[in-house]
């Protein structure tokens, strides 16, 4: 459907302004008076071509035909009002008839021109992308319906406004100089080649656009026809493709790591397990105290092999897949109990403090606790290690404390294990505090504030 307001602006030189509406009847009345005062035989009727041509500036063929009909009628009326003449009546009639014929010939010409204008207007409005025409000063003189829909403005709100109104504020300062460069060497080309361009809607939102510039010479000077295309969907597709490509690379890297684990570390672990089992068979005396320890180590190697397999398939170990933080910690403690030492325990101060935790938050908390307990058992030679779960000032607090060798944090540096713990804490929005000193053990505290929205995978 033709957008009437924009269509009427398209051919500005063919508009019928308010002043023309008054001028046309005034001209016809003047010519009629002149015809009334002029003796018959003079071609006064030709003067009616002036208001007819003026009417031809309208985009409506109906206006042209109405004016032509009135002019034809006035030519006939003038025949009866004009003073008599010595010119034969036949010549007078011929003169009047030719005048009417010339008027209707002009109507045919003007109607054809008007139809061309209407076809141009219809094509301008039918283009789905946004179109605007700007003058040499950068002011908008014409827009189509597509651009109005795209930016949320009406044509009346944009006509006469600078094009910078449709540009985000951060780009407006440089735009006048860029426009001057274009006018210095005008040519049809895309705007901002190699740069991301954005449009600014009436509601203040921005969206990515693609802009084409086409210079046009008119009788009022150089103007620019700008085509604007909303490329939001294209950008979204590109972003999805980029993410898919990143995921594909990650998958390939994971596959490479899995192959290396299977062909390297996993085979080494299998060899260690087989070696321990062989040593176990060589120790035939059941009373030897080393047997339980060896059985435990064989079981530990089996657990490590299972964890490596889980990692290779993208799965977490069973203790990390629970929805019960307490049960997960108990399982971790059980995995690290060897004989009577070290003494490992779990203390619950407030059982309700764990309510509402997501699976992802529990998983990362368990990985942090496991790393802390493993360090206490394997590196710090701790005699005891205790895990405490409490709620302090509305914050869930998980504390792992051991009496091991401890360390000087600065001298030790940010090892991979501690770095991983800090990264996992950040990922779930928790704070982590690591306190240690040589000979005084280590205390690791993870604090998480209660909140309505929890971290999910």
CA-nearest of 103, 125, 162, 133 to 1 is: 125
Helix, strand, coil share (%) of the chain residues, nearest 5: 55, 15, 25
Cross-strand bridge partners of residue 65: none
Residue 398 DSSP SS3: strand
Structure tokens at 191: 């705007």
Q: How far apart are CA 392 and CA 375, in angstroms?
A: 26
C-alpha distance across the termini of the chain, in Å: 49
Question: What is the DSSP secondary-structure string of 218-246?
Answer: ETTEEEEEEEEEE-HHHHHHHHHHHHHHH
pLDDT in tens, the chain (457 residues): 334 444 444 444 334 444 556 788 888 888 888 877 777 766 667 777 778 777 776 546 777 788 888 888 888 888 788 777 666 777 777 777 877 887 887 777 766 555 555 555 665 666 777 888 888 888 998 888 889 989 999 888 998 999 999 999 988 888 888 888 887 777 777 776 667 889 999 999 999 998 888 887 766 678 888 888 888 888 898 899 999 998 888 888 877 777 766 666 666 676 777 777 777 777 766 556 666 667 767 777 777 777 777 777 767 777 778 888 888 888 888 877 766 667 888 888 776 666 678 888 888 898 899 888 888 887 788 888 999 998 887 788 999 999 988 887 554 444 677 888 888 899 888 999 999 888 888 999 999 876 554 555 5
CA-nearest of 411, 428, 422, 427 to 445 is: 422
Residue 426 DSSP SS3: helix
> 249: how many CB neighbours lie within 10 A of its CB?
10
Output the pLDDT for position 142: 85
Residue whose entry in the numeric block shows the structure tokens 């009436």: 202
Q: Are 27 and 55 in contact, with CB atoms under 8 Å apart?
A: no
Assessment of whether the complete model's pTM goes beyond 0.85:
no
Output the pLDDT for position 204: 92
Cross-strand bridge partners of residue 143: 132
Q: Are strands 130-134 and 189-190 parallel, antiparallel or unpaired?
A: unpaired
> How far out from the chain centre does Cα 221 lie?
37
16: CB partners within 8 A, 6+ apart: 54, 55, 57, 58, 59, 60, 63
């Amino acid at each position: 459907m033709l957008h009437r307001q924009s269509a009427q602006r398209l051919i500005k030189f063919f508009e019928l302004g308010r002043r023309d509406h008054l001028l046309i009847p005034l001209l016809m009345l003047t010519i009629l008076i002149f015809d009334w005062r002029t003796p018959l035989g003079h071609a006064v009727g030709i003067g009616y071509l002036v208001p007819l041509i003026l009417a031809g500036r309208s985009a409506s063929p109906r206006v042209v035909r109405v004016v032509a009909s009135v002019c034809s009628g006035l030519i006939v009326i003038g025949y009866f009002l004009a003073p008599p003449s010595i010119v034969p009546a036949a010549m007078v009639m011929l003169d009047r008839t030719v005048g009417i014929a010339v008027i209707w010939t002009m109507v045919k010409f003007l109607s054809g021109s008007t139809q061309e204008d209407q076809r141009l207007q219809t094509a301008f409005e039918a283009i789905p992308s946004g179109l605007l025409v700007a003058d040499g000063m950068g002011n908008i003189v014409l827009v189509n319906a597509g651009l109005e829909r795209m930016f949320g403005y009406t044509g009346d709100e944009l006509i006469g406004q600078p094009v910078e109104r449709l540009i985000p504020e951060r780009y407006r300062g440089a735009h006048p100089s860029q426009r001057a460069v274009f006018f210095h060497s005008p040519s049809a080309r895309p705007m901002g080649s190699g740069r991301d361009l954005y449009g600014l809607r009436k509601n203040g939102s921005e969206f990515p656009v693609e802009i084409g510039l086409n210079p046009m010479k008119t009788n009022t000077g150089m103007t620019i026809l700008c085509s604007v295309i909303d490329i939001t969907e294209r950008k979204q597709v590109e972003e999805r493709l980029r993410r898919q490509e990143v995921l594909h690379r990650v998958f390939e890297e994971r596959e490479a790591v899995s192959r290396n684990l299977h062909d390297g570390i996993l085979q080494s672990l299998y060899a260690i397990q087989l070696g321990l089992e062989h040593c176990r068979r060589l120790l035939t005396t059941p009373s030897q105290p080393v047997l339980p320890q060896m059985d435990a180590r064989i079981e530990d190697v089996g657990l490590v092999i299972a964890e490596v397999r889980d990692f290779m398939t993208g799965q977490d170990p069973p203790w990390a897949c629970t929805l019960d933080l307490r049960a997960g910690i108990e399982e971790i403690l059980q995995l690290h109990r060897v004989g009577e030492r070290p003494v490992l325990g779990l203390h619950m101060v407030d059982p309700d403090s764990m309510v509402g935790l997501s699976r992802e938050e529990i998983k990362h908390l368990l990985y942090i606790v496991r790393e802390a307990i493993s360090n206490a058992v394997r590196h710090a030679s701790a005699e005891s290690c205790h895990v405490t779960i409490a709620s302090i000032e509305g914050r869930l607090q998980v504390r792992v404390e051991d009496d091991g060798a401890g360390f000087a944090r600065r001298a030790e540096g940010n090892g991979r294990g501690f770095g991983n713990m800090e990264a996992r804490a950040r990922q779930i929005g928790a704070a982590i505090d690591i306190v240690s000193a040589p000979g005084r053990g280590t205390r690791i505290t993870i604090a998480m504030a209660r909140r309505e929205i929890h971290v999910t995978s």
